[in-house]
Amino acid sequence: MFSCTVEKEISEVLSRCVEGKSISRTEAVLLLKSENTHSILQTAKSIRDRFKPGPITYSPKVFINLINLCRDTCSYCTYKKEPTDDSLSMMSPDQVLSIAQRGKMTRCTEALIVTGERPEARYLQAKEWLKSLGHSSIVDYIREVSEMVLHKTGLLPHTNAGCLTKKEMSLLKDTNVSLGLMLESSSERLLRKGMPHEMAPSKNPKLRTKTIQSAGELRIPMTTGLLVGIGETHEEMIDSLFVIKEIQSKFGHLQEVIMQNFSPKANTAMVEIDRPSHSYFIKCVAVARLVMNDMNIQIPPNLNPGCLGDFIDAGINDWGGISPVTIDYVNPEYSWPDVELVRSVTLQKAHGLRARLPIYPEFLDKSLGFIPEGLRSFVDPLIDDAGLVKEHDQN
């Protein structure tokens, strides 16, 4: 049990949050360890209502699983495949276009392009596949399919291909309205022997941080976030939030922070590890809101069935991508919820639900320089005055 002195300190921290003041790492750790979850959630909700008073948003998308070979091996991942696996994906341009066209028919606006981390660096099969397509790197191929999807369907590409160099991201800037890279954790301890990222060199937080910062230098809107429950301590969890906050304060290009809860998967090294408790995870989400206050905070709805309303109470303002066409290839065990179910839950919490693009409304202002002129003609016809997807396009 916490002492009266500690409870008083927590109350004072929450009062400062309500006033819009920043809190320190130490104070955020105190909140995360606190048993006063109700007050923390109430405060997070009020902060969300103050800084993000509009509707809860989501992105109607198709998931383009371009290639799922990967040089990394994470202890919790089933996305990565081997060349002999039946579920190996090495998509041709025609296959990509077919999925994008199905997305267009179902009024999607986002083409989420996902690949393993530098597959050509580890697998001869990936290198030969790229060569057969006329490319020497996965980034070159992503640029080709992004341009094709953009011009032939009007869907807006958003790529998540792991750590990229500044030069590689600059190659994608003219065809992708945004890029994504989960920080997951800023803890280097998770790279040690027996830890989740031991065999995953690209999960080194220094590399991930560099990629995220480089996107800021290039004025590319970026999505990032944390994977909660993979062995991090309370302090490491908070440190990770503050790494993101510091990057955002310097570059201002981070669109959202995804708070994703770990879920154990069959045939992985972490299959016996429990997922974080609902009470702990929801408190992590609320503390993220208190640390970030005006940031877009998102949780994946398919990983949290049956309790979506709790996360609205914890201060989120976005549900992320939901696809009517493709599964979640990273978490195939969890189906996307029906949008009408999400709408119903959202309305029960006195919020509207609106579709957004893979670039958030606040990044659309021309003066900010986040959208290259060549992409304007694809973005502008899709949005209303609020920068959200025109509602008649979603009916």
**259, pLDDT greater than 70:** yes
pLDDT tens-digit map of 16-33: 998 888 999 999 999 999
Q: Which residue has the higher pLDDT, 51 or 7?
A: 51
Neighbouring-strand partners of residue 65: 114
pLDDT tens-digit map of 128-150: 999 999 999 999 999 999 999 99
At 2, the pLDDT band (50, 70, 90 cuts) reads low
By CB neighbour count within 10 A (0-12 exposed, 13-18 middle, 19+ buried), where does 39 fall?
Answer: middle
pLDDT at 4: 73
pLDDT at 21: 87
Among 11-25, 102-116, 255-269, 280-294, where is mean pLDDT lowest?
A: 11-25
Domain span holding position 71:
48-394
Predicted TM-score (pTM) of this structure: 0.96
pLDDT at 316: 98
Whether 7 is covered by a domain: the verdict is no
pLDDT at 8: 87
pLDDT tens-digit map of 261-272: 999 999 999 999
Number of compact structural domains in the chain: 1
Whether 299 is covered by a domain: the verdict is yes
**348, pLDDT greater than 60:** yes
Whether 25 is covered by a domain: the verdict is no
At 395, the pLDDT band (50, 70, 90 cuts) reads very low
In CATH, what number is assigned to the domain containing residue 94?
3.20.20.70
Whether 29 is covered by a domain: the verdict is no
- Mean pLDDT of the chain, nearest integer: 96
At 6, the pLDDT band (50, 70, 90 cuts) reads confident
**393, pLDDT greater than 60:** no
pLDDT at 142: 98
**51, pLDDT greater than 50:** yes
pLDDT tens-digit map of 94-108: 999 999 999 999 999
- The share of the chain scoring above pLDDT 90, in percent, equals 94
Whether 171 is covered by a domain: the verdict is yes
Whether 85 is covered by a domain: the verdict is yes
At 86, the pLDDT band (50, 70, 90 cuts) reads very high
- The share of the chain scoring above pLDDT 70, in percent, equals 98
Whether 3 is covered by a domain: the verdict is no
Whether 363 is covered by a domain: the verdict is yes
**36, pLDDT greater than 50:** yes
**Structure tokens that stand for 23 in this block:** 């809190």
